[in-house]
Chain A
Amino acid sequence: MENFPIYMTFTPILAAMIIYLGPNKYITYLTFIAQGILSILVGVYAIKFNFLKTPQIIFLGGWSREIGITLRMDTLSILFIVLTVFIWWMIIIYSWNRRKEDFKFLFFLLVLEGAFIAFLQSDDIFNIFVLLELITILSTILIIYKKDGYSVRAGLYYLIFNSVGMIFFLLGLILLYSLSGTLNMEVISRRISMFENTALVRLSYIFIIASLGVKSAFFPVYTWLPRAHGAAPASISALLSGLLVKSGLYAFIRINQMYDIQILQNFFFILGVCTAISGAIIALSQNDIKQILAFSTISQIGIILVGLSSFKEGLYIGGIAHIFNHAIFKSLLFLGAGAILNRYGTRRVTEIRGVFKESPLLSIFMIIGILSITGAPLFNGYISKTIIKYGITNKVLGSTFMNIMNILTIMYFMKFSQIFFGESIVNTIRDIGNTLALGILALVSMALGIYMKGILEVSAGIDLSYIYIFSIKSLIEYLLSILIGYIIYKKIVEKDINIMKRIRHFNLSFEIANIMLVAFIFIMILWVRFPTS
């Protein structure tokens, strides 16, 4: 029972190896067996240890904490693992019909799952580095899976830019090791309080945060994300946007727990606001449906970062809840967009018409996704967005920011949802796996919308009595923001004015992205030296 976390990592990797070594029509069904075993392992482990209220430490090889490698399971990591297994189920069900004999695809997909689960458990800062690099390489292979020029370009940009980011992680790690003499995060966090205010600790913190900023697409350094997420196959885009981009945010949470120095809180708040608003504005200018969704991911990451920046109860729980909600509705939207692209063969919003007539069920699921992401009451996005809205200390600032974000989100999804209207010209393709995966995701979105409040109140122990799911007031507020969004959309966005075209064709070359990264680090250093608050 104690060793279950190790089996969780190796079950999918072992299955992947068997599939790769014996490529055969039936052996690919091993995927489902491995997933089933993994689900049982995770379920039994989570229930046995009561969702890890007391963290479990697993010592590998029997070495002590200072020199060996340990795994750590706590509530956050077990929740992320449950989410991982769930999203992987959905991806496999969705793509099964097309990929069931594609053993190479299944190999990389399953190894990536094992690596991601190992990453969620690791309690060792060098392990985090290695596994982040492994995740980067594996997801590059999956991004370029179609092997056309567009995706190879995106994959190369993603790989090199993320590697540049990870160099800074290594630099921070060196500084930290030379100070504390160990790599175990728990031991470091105990020793770090002894020299909390030295310049070297702060410098290592800034380097590590900068590299994680690249990984999780913060404001100036997110240029890799829309390319990579737009170019990948549909199922992989859903995986990248829903889950893998959160690897940076998960490491961000862990690193902040380890350092426990709150010198950049206000900076993170401003960074989150910038990320959210710039992502939403660029999303508004796009015409490609996958690009709209990719930039929407950036803007949602900004909202999550605003939530995480506080590191104290209410707002922080809102940020973590939004990570989970975003994973569910963004995978739903990307998978649905992939199904639509398969039928229409074009990615332009202006050319796809009549999706609702052609496949009503798919459209209903996607509309549920859109309602969730725009924060309609009764759907899951509403809960986390409301917690963040009321959790921001400055009430006026908080409600203004969240209302602006809601209107922007509604506006770019208005652009997105024009694909549902009109007459369709293509033949329907029926795919049971597609519909099933989308249906489950939509159902989970709605169920979480109703039950999440109760779950959060019990598990996190915070007071959420200010959220009324069934109230008329929140419904009116939502309808009002739809109205405002509609007016602005009709008056300004639909005319496709010059500045929109300018934003759409704005591209950052690779060396400019690197300059941005260096500038990002310098801004953080200046911020720490001259605190503004």
Chain B
Amino acid sequence: MRLDILLSFVVVLIGIYGLTISKNIISSIISLNITQAAVVLLFLSVGAIEGGEAPILGGFTPSIVDPIPQALMITAIVIGASITAMSLMLTIKLFHYYGTLSWKEIIEREG
């Protein structure tokens, strides 16, 4: 097991742990963000080769880094950013309606 894969997996676990304990909407969104970033890191380190070259056309060396994870993770980052933006926007609206950011209080409020 390589160290970078192991470390990014630990960060994934930290993010999931954060999701299971956070009682506040903002901290839930932050935990979600940490988990998403860690998954991106994990995928990139799976595709990486130590001392490998950037996968740019032209140079042909025997050890190039796998380009597919990098291409995919750009998309995943964009999706993560849009979800964060949207959930923050909804959080602002929710704060205007309920005056609190605690999941428990908001969910138990009637109507």
Indicate, yes or no, whether A interacts with B.
yes
Query: In the assembled complex, which residues on chain B have CB atoms less than 8 Å from the CB atom of A155?
Result: 90
B90 x A170 contact (CB < 8 A): no
B65 within 8 A of A: no
- A70 CB to nearest chain B CB (Å): 15
Residue A201 at the B interface, CB < 8 A?
no
Known: A156-B25, A164-B32. Contact between A509 and B107, CB under 8 A?
Answer: yes
A160 CB-CB contact with B under 8 Å: yes
| Interface stretch of the complex, out of A100-108, A421-429, A511-519 | A511-519
Bound together, the chains give a CA A511 to CA B106 distance in angstroms of 13
The complex places the Cα of A134 from the Cα of B57 at a distance, in Å, of: 31
Known contacts A149-B94, A518-B16; A133/B83 CB under 8 A: yes
Closest chain B CB from A356 CB (angstroms): 29
CB interface residues, A 166-194, toward B, < 8 Å: 167, 170-171, 174, 177-178, 183
Size of chain B's interface in residues, with CB distance under 8 A? 39
Q: Give chain B residues whose Cβ lies under 8 Å from the Cβ of A144.
A: 90, 93
Whether, in the assembled complex, A147 has its beta carbon less than 8 Å from a beta carbon of chain B, the answer is yes
Contacts of B23 in A (CB 8 A): 509, 511
The CB with the most chain A CB atoms within 10 A, among B12, B21, B72, B104, is that of B72
Report the separation of the CA atoms of residues A508 and B93 in the bound assembly, to the nearest whole angstrom.
22
A195 within 8 A of B: no
Given contacts A507-B108, A510-B28, contact A170 B19 (CB under 8 A): no
Please give the residue numbers on chain B whose beta carbons come within 8 Å of chain A beta carbons, in ascending order: 12, 16, 19-23, 25, 28-29, 32, 35-36, 39, 42-43, 46, 68-69, 72, 75-76, 79, 82-83, 86-87, 90-91, 93-94, 97-98, 103-104, 106-108, 111
Smallest CB–CB gap between B73 and chain A, Å?
9
B12 x A159 contact (CB < 8 A): no
Please, what's the 1-or-0 string for A475-511, where 1 marks a CB less than 8 Å from any CB in chain B?
A: 0000000000000000000000000000000011111
Q: Does A137 sit within 8 A of B, measured CB to CB?
A: yes
Q: Which of A130, A140, A152 has its CB near the most chain B CB atoms (within 10 A)?
A: A152
Does A67 interact with chain B (Cβ within 8 Å)? yes
Complex CA distance for A67 and B32, rounded to whole angstroms? 30
Chain A hits for B68, CB < 8 A: 67, 177, 183
A155 to B91 CA separation, bound complex (whole angstroms): 10
A153 to B100 alpha-carbon distance, docked (Å)? 12
* A367 → chain B closest CB, angstroms: 30
Could you say which of A147, A178, A183, A518 contacts B46, with CB atoms under 8 Å apart?
A178
Inter-chain contacts of B28 with A (CB < 8 A)? 160, 510-511
CB atoms of A159 and B86 under 8 A apart: yes
Alpha-carbon distance between A64 and B2 when the two chains are bound, in angstroms: 31
> A-B contact count, CB below 8 Å?
99
Q: Which chain A positions have C-beta within 8 A of B76?
A: 129, 170
A contact patch SS: helix
A167 touches B90 (CB 8 A): no
Check B46 against A174 for contact (C-beta < 8 Å). Answer: yes
Q: B residues within 8 A CB of A267?
A: none
| Contact (Cβ within 8 A) A174 B86 | no
Picked from A159, A164, A518, the residue with its CB within 8 Å of the CB of B90 is A159
Contact B83 A137 (CB under 8 A): yes
Chain A 115-157: CB-based contact to B (< 8 A → 1; otherwise 0) = 0000000000010011001000100100010011110110111
| A133 surroundings in chain B (CB, below 8 A) | 79, 83
* Max chain A C-beta neighbours (<10 A), residue from B36, B79, B94, B104: B79
When distances are taken between beta carbons in the complex, the residues of chain A under 8 Å from B39 are 167, 170-171, 174
Residues of B within 8 A of A75 (CB): none
Which chain B residues lie closer than 8 Å to A156 at the CB level? 25, 87, 90-91, 94
CB < 8 Å neighbour of B42 from A174, A183, A515: A174
Q: For residue A137, which residues in chain B have a CB less than 8 angstroms away from its CB?
A: 82-83, 86
Residues of A within 8 A of B42 (CB): 171, 174
Q: Contacts A170-B39, A174-B39, A509-B104 hold; do A152 and B97 have CB atoms under 8 A apart?
A: yes
Which of A152, A177, A514 has a CB less than 8 Å from the CB of B93? A152
